[in-house]
Structure 1
Amino acid sequence: MRTTVGTAPPKADFNWYWTSQTASFVGDRLTGFAVPSIAILTLNATSAQVGILSAIGWLAYPTLGLVAGAALVHLPRRRVMITGELARFTLFATIPLAAIAGWTTIPQLLIVVALAGVATVFVDIAGQSYLPVVVPPGALVSANANLQSSDSLSKLIGPALAGLFLKLTGPYTSLLLSALPFLTSALSRTRIQTREPSTHSTHHQIPAPAPTPAPQFQGLTPEIVGCHPGTAGGNPQGEGLTTQMAKVGRGDTPPRERSEAGDTGHGATSAIARAPGSAIEPCEAGQPGLGATSAIARAPGSALEPCEAGQPGLGATSPETGGTPPALPLPGTQLPALADATSSPAAASPQAMLRRIRVGLRFVMDHAVLRPLVIGAAIRSFGTGMVDAVLLLFAYRVLGLSSLQGGLLIAAGSIGGLLGAFAANRLVDRIGTQRTLWLTGLEGVFWLAIPLCLLFAPAIVLVVIRVCASIWSPVWNVITTSVRQDLTPVALQSTVHATARTVTSSTVPLGALTGGFAGGVLGDQLGTSAGLVLVLATGGVIAGASVLSIGRTSQV
């Protein structure tokens, strides 16, 4: 029996979700190690080619990330995740098949990785926006910590296991084995029974407001969460959209909000009925849809789109109807035949998708809490892309390690990731969100020690640096993802997560290309060892410097 919207999802559903995500993480790590290893050890790829290979899998985010988020508003996310996992398995399986005919080349690897990256975008964004459906809001930090633990564990097991596969079965059979977890992930996702909030229902129930659990993030008070730059001007109370959301979360706001004349917080002279978890998007000035002189009743999970200029609102005063906006329904009453905007054919039009993209971008970039976190994540991703692009080159060509030894070396650093994932929640409880985020800057400090690899025991020094530096990225990820999910209304989950993922992931290929080409140029000038060490140190310092994005605000 499927769980209906509004009831607590069964714990078994999160367990299946967790299992599927863990299998997906393992597949990512196995194929992520096997493909560049095949390129370096079998196809003799250059430093620049390895950088391009590392970058191309991430190019789908800047090109398709926002489109995917807008499209997922009216697509079944569980089905999208299943389809994406099956596509990834099929794509990676073509490489061993081509090897049988002797057709495997660097261009083929690039094509497969690029197409698999497209599937990854849809699986990733769908999974991020689906999690709040499977777990209640108060459990998001715990759920994300569990997922981050699985991600860190996959980084520990995946490279070592992929290296073992390479040694025992050869490059191409090992890649086929490495793709099998994607099938496991797809199967596990079919067992999830929680039903997503429908985007095609024609009636909405407006529940009475109920208190929601207090935010779990110390330092993110309701007042801070609700700040929305630019909305105070012209608003006597200085309250904008996000302030109203914070009030609803506290349970101290009545279900009806009627703005005074001249209040620009929700658009000009609007009358809005709010429900917990709903998201009302203001129209541009002069649009009657959800902004000027409109009366709108919203329900949790609905996704009404702003009306175009000249279109009447939903029960609002309009040029066609005139008159006074009707009385708003009380909590617990049903709206008669109110169709979701996403149920109409126009919701899938390019114009509607572009409008949703703009809403997601505006929500993130206008939000005083989310904006610096997204910018910081983008900086961290750039530095991480530089490090990841040359780390295997350093292991194989400077340290002279085998594929199995290289896998073990990469995996050893993931011990720190596991420690960070387990410690994230405890650190937030003990010292607060902002101080914990500041601590993640230690990642850059540890990477500054990488030149010691040129002096003595390079393999041992690299393992120690990897372990110590890897603690902090999971801590950052757990906090920023949980904050974003907690502050984002249900109807905006897909577009907001797509915006954040697109911005942060778009810098990974830039970092990978920079690292790959810089490694080649510096290697020619300074020698391979010194050149790659310099790239690793620079990338690590950039990743740690991401905390500077939150340095001037006390609102995190």
Structure 2
Amino acid sequence: MTVAARALRRTTAWTIPAYRCLLGSEAASLSGSAVSTIALPALAVLELHATTREVAVLAFLGQLPSTLALWAGALSDRYEKRRQLIATDLTAAAALATIPGAALAGVLTIGQLYGVSLVLGATKVQHDAAAISLLPGIVAPELLHDANARLGAASSVADSAGSNAGAALVGAVGPARSVLADVISFLASAVLVWRIRTPEPRAHPMEAAEGRRSLGRDIAAGVRYVLGQPVIRTVIAALAVLSFGLAVMNTYWAYYLLTTLGASPTAFGVIMGVGGGGSLAGALLAPRITGRFGVGRTIITGFAASPLAQVPLLLAGPGRGWQIALAATLAVQLFWATAAGVSQRSLRQILCDPRFQGRMQAASTTVTAGSRPLAAATAGALAMLLDVRTVLAVGATLQTIPMLLLLASPVRTLRAMPTPPDTKAVPPAREGTP
């Protein structure tokens, strides 16, 4: 092994200052958002005495911008991503800051919470599109897997810590004041992004001239590009079907555990906590797992683990023994799901033309997040005809389809991460053509 090869082997994404700033930014904003995820519904229920319909509308408005992710991807590819990240962080902080002020003045309404929830959802979609597509410009292709693994681990820890902190803050200072923690987190995120000094590539003159065209044409070009990439297209399709199947199950998963299986709220929390530990381990070990089993096998195993993990749930009955089994199964499921998620995200980023990173990621977000409301409605309709256990079985069966899609695709033969395509050979004027 040459000196250069040994040096490359010792290099990790953590050695890159810009990546450390991006990692810190994502961890800060995610931990703060986890606080708001608890504080906003608590504020609506405890302070504003919201009805169940109003709470449902609040949750719906937060998810609604995900259906517009294609627009976010087009904007991400058109403008400087670093500025987009700073702008979305500051916008989210400003929106959240209105809540404690209005609460202190006694003028807070559920309508204001609706508006803030919508703004937070929109800024999150734009932020995610810019952050995910910025990563390949910060780290080299051979470090993307390590970079995504560290991001996944940090996200898992930040989300768990933020949820715990949110519950503690709501109890200690009230839901309105606890929102200030999220305001601070977004400001910290903006400062960290501001410190990123990696220059972004300049647009080709012909691309700059085309920059005045409508976003609709940019979106159409992005969709055509994704459809023209066999591996990217197949992985996104698999993600969409898996997301739909999981969403069908998640509609009644907690209800099933707490009622039919008789799990206490404490036991339910322990099961979720053990599952979170599996997710963290999967993120940390993803590069090693891929190195040992190969990229394709890791991704397919992660997708296969999901339907298999539902078998104990469908067979389970009341009792601590089954609760321990379900916790262990969930940990294994999330371990492989996270390892596969890190691998497939890195694979898509490596294969994607840099000019389409934002739109490619947005296409994935649209079909995965966009399928969840439909899946919830489907689960509700099925529950009118079938018992809950059978509805869960339908969701589990749907989760076998992604594994079959991947087995029939080029993903099955992938041993190592591929070499990035030569995008210089593609004329800029023809971008988006199949």
Per the normalisation by structure 2, the TM-score is 0.78
User: Is the counterpart of residue 443 in structure 1 residue 309 in structure 2?
Assistant: no
Superposed CA deviations along residues 176-225 of structure 1, whole A, max 9, x for unmatched, are 324432222111111111111123xxxxxxxxxxxxxxxxxxxxxxxxxx
- Choose the corresponding residue for 1:182, options 186, 199, 202: 186
For residues 10 and 165 of structure 1, what CA distance do their matches in structure 2 show? Answer: 35
User: Is the counterpart of residue 423 in structure 1 residue 279 in structure 2?
Assistant: no
User: Is the counterpart of residue 478 in structure 1 residue 342 in structure 2?
Assistant: yes
SS of alignment partner, residue 199 of structure 2: coil
- Choose the corresponding residue for 1:501, options 344, 356, 365: 365
Aligned length: 395
- Partner residue of 1:22? 27
User: Is the counterpart of residue 550 in structure 1 residue 414 in structure 2?
Assistant: no
For residues 236 and 79 of structure 2, what CA distance do their matches in structure 1 show? Answer: 25
Cα root mean square deviation, aligned: 3.4
Percent identity, please: 28
- Partner residue of 1:274? none
- Partner residue of 2:9? none
Of residues 106-115 and 437-446 in structure 1, the stretch that sits farther from structure 2 once superposed is 106-115
CA contact (8 A) 2:149 2:286 kept: yes
How big is the shift at 1:468? Answer: 3.1
User: Is the counterpart of residue 149 in structure 1 residue 156 in structure 2?
Assistant: no
User: Is the counterpart of residue 455 in structure 1 residue 318 in structure 2?
Assistant: yes
For residues 397 and 106 of structure 2, what CA distance do their matches in structure 1 show? Answer: 42
* Gapped regions of structure 1 (runs ≥ 5): 1-7, 200-301, 303-338
How big is the shift at 1:53? Answer: 4.3
For residues 87 and 292 of structure 2, what CA distance do their matches in structure 1 show? Answer: 41
For residues 454 and 108 of structure 1, what CA distance do their matches in structure 2 show? Answer: 44
For residues 480 and 62 of structure 1, what CA distance do their matches in structure 2 show? Answer: 22
* Aligned CA distance change for structure 1 residues 538 and 84 (closer, same or farther; 3 Å): farther
Superposed CA deviations along residues 413-443 of structure 1, whole A, max 9, x for unmatched, are 2111111112322222122222222222212
Q: How does 1:271-350 map to 2 (within 5 A)?
A: 302=204, 339-342=205-208, 344=209, 347-350=211-214
CA contact (8 A) 2:88 2:126 kept: yes
SS of alignment partner, residue 379 of structure 1: helix
CA contact (8 A) 1:9 1:135 kept: no
Of residues 408-417 and 481-490 in structure 1, the stretch that sits farther from structure 2 once superposed is 408-417
Superposed CA deviations along residues 434-455 of structure 1, whole A, max 9, x for unmatched, are 2222222212322343356751
Partner AA of 1:469 in structure 2: Q
CA contact (8 A) 1:30 1:179 kept: no
For residues 55 and 548 of structure 1, what CA distance do their matches in structure 2 show? Answer: 32
For residues 412 and 495 of structure 1, what CA distance do their matches in structure 2 show? Answer: 35
Of residues 48-57 and 17-26 in structure 1, the stretch that sits farther from structure 2 once superposed is 48-57
SS of alignment partner, residue 193 of structure 1: coil
Give the number of the structure with larger relative contact order, counting CA–CA contacts within 8 Å between residues 6 or more apart: 2
- Partner residue of 1:193? 197
* Aligned CA distance change for structure 1 residues 173 and 355 (closer, same or farther; 3 Å): same
Of residues 167-176 and 429-438 in structure 1, the stretch that sits farther from structure 2 once superposed is 167-176
Superposed CA deviations along residues 147-168 of structure 1, whole A, max 9, x for unmatched, are 1111222233232222222232
CA contact (8 A) 1:152 1:474 kept: no
- Choose the corresponding residue for 1:467, options 331, 335, 338: 331
Partner AA of 2:121 in structure 1: G
SS of alignment partner, residue 197 of structure 1: coil
Partner AA of 2:196 in structure 1: I
How big is the shift at 1:57? Answer: 2.5
Return the index of the structure with the highest Cα Rg. 1
CA contact (8 A) 1:159 1:407 kept: no
- Partner residue of 2:93? 89
SS of alignment partner, residue 34 of structure 2: helix
* Aligned CA distance change for structure 1 residues 86 and 507 (closer, same or farther; 3 Å): same
Partner AA of 1:447 in structure 2: Q
How big is the shift at 1:72? Answer: 2.5
* Aligned CA distance change for structure 1 residues 83 and 536 (closer, same or farther; 3 Å): farther
How big is the shift at 1:379? Answer: 1.8
Superposed CA deviations along residues 201-252 of structure 1, whole A, max 9, x for unmatched, are xxxxxxxxxxxxxxxxxxxxxxxxxxxxxxxxxxxxxxxxxxxxxxxxxxxx
- Partner residue of 1:56? 61
User: Which protein has the bigger helix share?
Assistant: 2
CA contact (8 A) 2:248 2:376 kept: yes
- Choose the corresponding residue for 1:13, options 5, 13, 18: 18
Per the normalisation by structure 1, the TM-score is 0.62
* Aligned CA distance change for structure 1 residues 178 and 72 (closer, same or farther; 3 Å): closer
CA contact (8 A) 1:158 1:411 kept: no
For residues 248 and 92 of structure 2, what CA distance do their matches in structure 1 show? Answer: 25
Q: How does 1:322-401 map to 2 (within 5 A)?
A: 339-342=205-208, 344=209, 347-350=211-214, 353-386=215-248, 401=265
